[in-house]
Amino acid sequence: MEAKLNELKQRLGEIADLNNAASVLSWDQLTHMPPGGAEARGRQLATLARIAQEKQTDEALGKLIDELLVETQSLPAGNVQRAMVRVAKIDFDRATRVPPEFVARIYQHIAQSYQVWAEARQKNDFSATQPYLEKTLDLSREYSAFFPEAEHVADPLIDQSDYGMKVSTVRPLFAELRSRLVPIIQAITSQPAADDSCLKQPIPADAQVAFGEKIIRKLGYDFERGRQDKSAHPFTTRFSINDVRITTRVREDDFSEAFFSTTHEAGHAMYEQGIDQALEGTNLASGTSAGVHESQSRLWENIVSRGKDFWIFAYPLLQEAFPAQFGNVSQDTFYRAINKVQRSLIRTDADEVTYNLHVMIRFDLEVGMLEGNLAVRHLPEAWNERYRSDLGILPPSDKDGCMQDVHWYGGTIGGAFQGYTLGNVLSALFYRQALKDRPGIPEEIRHGKFDGLHAWMQEHIYRHGRIFTTDELVMRCTGGALTIEPYIEYLKQKYGELYDL
């Protein structure tokens, strides 16, 4: 078994090296590459992807994994070797069930669809994208059919980002969340909106970046094993546990843009930096699911850095860094401004309370399309109807309606949205457990000390990488199943105080 495990490690290590090398090329493409490099870069990425795919679908690898599945069965749950084999099986199946001919076909279609959407969106022309979206829907169903054991047509698509999550678990969870959120949002938005003009004052970009970096260093982001650059859309990428990079986007007339994207991405990055060094180079050396990943970004962005305790420590630093902008703004005014809740049209601009409604609308509509209960041609009406009923607003155009997100136009339909809201729910669940175990955390945060919270996440979430699934991780650290209660409690407490509910 020892020799076979070594061979498995070596094979998986090569695949990881190829994928990580591709990530370096993609990172460069999105941060520093001159426009002239685009064509060669596309070719180089395709070559690396092809070689990685050949290695990932090698029959000898499949045989090795199947033998090891039997031989590692007697090892205890949570054993690294056993987890490595289990995850290798998932990745191998996913790579081999889907024929290369289909992969080529869907990539080509998505590239076209994306181009059409980018132009049509500017012109607010949904009808131009409709035939492409219809084909994407067919292809998404075709993808799903490669996994005939799935309970629901959307499950294999959800599995790609949130392994183990199913429509049958996500749908009731979201229905419950929606019914609890809508009255909270109604109560908040029936009051006058917070004044957030203090955030819209001009601040030089470099000074904003420097302030953000100073803060995330305190949170625990390790610049010896990472760096921050600028890009059109903020993202986190990893080439190794010891090289996890983030990017941000700065607006000189909106302080919240760069600052909260920096703490958000730092949350993703600290997860990756915190994976056990012993897992380096294996298939376990990354976050376990989109939902758990998002729980970490949301925890540091929303629960911590939009929290009252955090600004007791950080507001004097902010005033010192930007005296002209914040010197005469009270801490309370600032705190209300960064937690302004409003019914809005655009998901990516939404506050932490209404955000989930945007996600759940998309989830329901995509599941409806996959089930055949919603035709693509009726998507704009269905979208607008849900915005009216859930958020009480009607999108004035498809551009700011069902054409606003790239996901369906530049990818498959299904599986890309649920992780955002699962992340919010999980962030509160993990935080509540951290507070139970270390009740001094809020006091530490008020003094700018984040080691306690960081260490808890390290111990219970980060170090495990992909060893445990989302459900297993939740069960291990909270002793129970996934529940929305801590998240609802968190929102009620925070916003109840802010809005006197």
List residues with catalytic annotation.
265
Closest CA to 487 of 176, 172, 169, 168: 176
Minimum CB distance to Zn ion smaller for 161 or for 325: 161
Which is closer to Zn ion, CB of 289 or CB of 297? 297
144, 248, 263, 297: which one contacts Zn ion (CB under 5 A)?
Answer: 297
Find out whether 494 and 428 touch, Cβ atoms under 8 Å: no
- CA 69 to chain centroid, in Å, comes to 31
Cβ-based nearer residue to Zn ion, 291 or 307: 291
- Compute how many other C-beta atoms are within 10 angstroms of the C-beta atom of residue 323: 10
Our CB check for Zn ion shows the closer of 144 and 248 to be 248
Sequence-distant (≥ 6) Cβ neighbours of residue 99 within 8 angstroms = none
In the complex, least distance from residue 347 CB atom to Zn ion, rounded to whole angstroms = 13
Asked if 296 touches Zn ion (CB under 5 A), the answer is: no
How many whole angstroms separate alpha carbon 163 and alpha carbon 284? 14
Q: What are phi and psi of 183, to 5 degrees?
A: -65, -35
Piece of 296-304, 351-359, 406-414, 471-479 that binds Zn ion (CB under 5 A):
296-304
Q: Which pair of structure tokens corresponds to residue 125?
A: 């022309």
Q: Is 206 left (phi over 0), alpha (psi -120 to 50) or beta?
A: alpha
Q: 262 phi and psi, to 5 degrees?
A: -70, -45
Q: How far apart are the first and last CA of the chain?
A: 61
What is the pairing mode between strands 236-240 and 228-230? unpaired
* Contact status: 161 vs Zn ion (CB under 5 A): no
Site string for Zn ion, 19-58 (x = CB under 5 A): ----------------------------------------
x/- letters, 320..349, toward Zn ion (CB under 5 A): ------------------------------
* Shortest-Cβ-distance residue relative to Zn ion: 297
The first and second tokens of residue 124, run together, are 């607010």
Q: Which is nearer to Zn ion, 297 or 424 (CB)?
A: 297
Residues in the chain: 501
Shortest spacing between CB 264 and Zn ion, in angstroms: 6
Shorter beta-carbon distance to Zn ion: residue 295 or 458: 295
What CA–CA distance (Å, rounded) separates 466 from 30? 27
Binding part of the chain for Zn ion, among 170-178, 289-297, 452-460, 483-491 by CB under 5 A, reads 289-297
Strands ordered across the beta sheet of 243-248:
228-230, 243-248, 236-240
From 124-132, 295-303, 440-448, 471-479, span contacting Zn ion (CB under 5 A): 295-303
Of 365, 427, 386, 364, the C-alpha closest to 170 is 364
Residue 470 as a binder of Zn ion (CB under 5 A): the answer is no
- CB < 8 Å & 24+ apart, contacts of 332-335: 333/195, 333/198, 334/198, 335/308, 335/311
Least distance (Å) between residue 294 CB and Zn ion:
5
Is the Cβ of residue 273 or residue 297 nearer to Zn ion in the bound state?
297
Least distance from Zn ion to the Cβ atom of residue 227, Å:
18
Phi, psi (deg, nearest 5) at residue 251: -120, 125
* Stretch binding Zn ion (CB under 5 A), from 114-122, 131-139, 207-215, 292-300: 292-300
Angle 306-309-310 from CA coordinates, rounded to 5°: 55
Query: Residue 113 interacts with Zn ion (CB under 5 A)?
Result: no
Our CB check for Zn ion shows the closer of 140 and 261 to be 261
Please, what is the minimum distance in Å from the beta carbon of residue 21 to Zn ion? 24
Binding residues for Zn ion, total number by CB under 5 A: 1
Answer yes or no: are the C-beta atoms of 257 and 246 closer than 8 Å. no
CB of 297 to Zn ion, least distance (A): 4
Q: Candidates 12-20, 297-305, 351-359, 401-409 — which segment interacts with Zn ion by CB under 5 A?
A: 297-305
For the bound state, the minimum distance from the C-beta of residue 436 to Zn ion, rounded and expressed in Å, comes to 26
Query: Segment contacting Zn ion (CB under 5 A): 171-179, 294-302, 312-320, 377-385?
Result: 294-302
Interface with Zn ion (CB under 5 A): 297
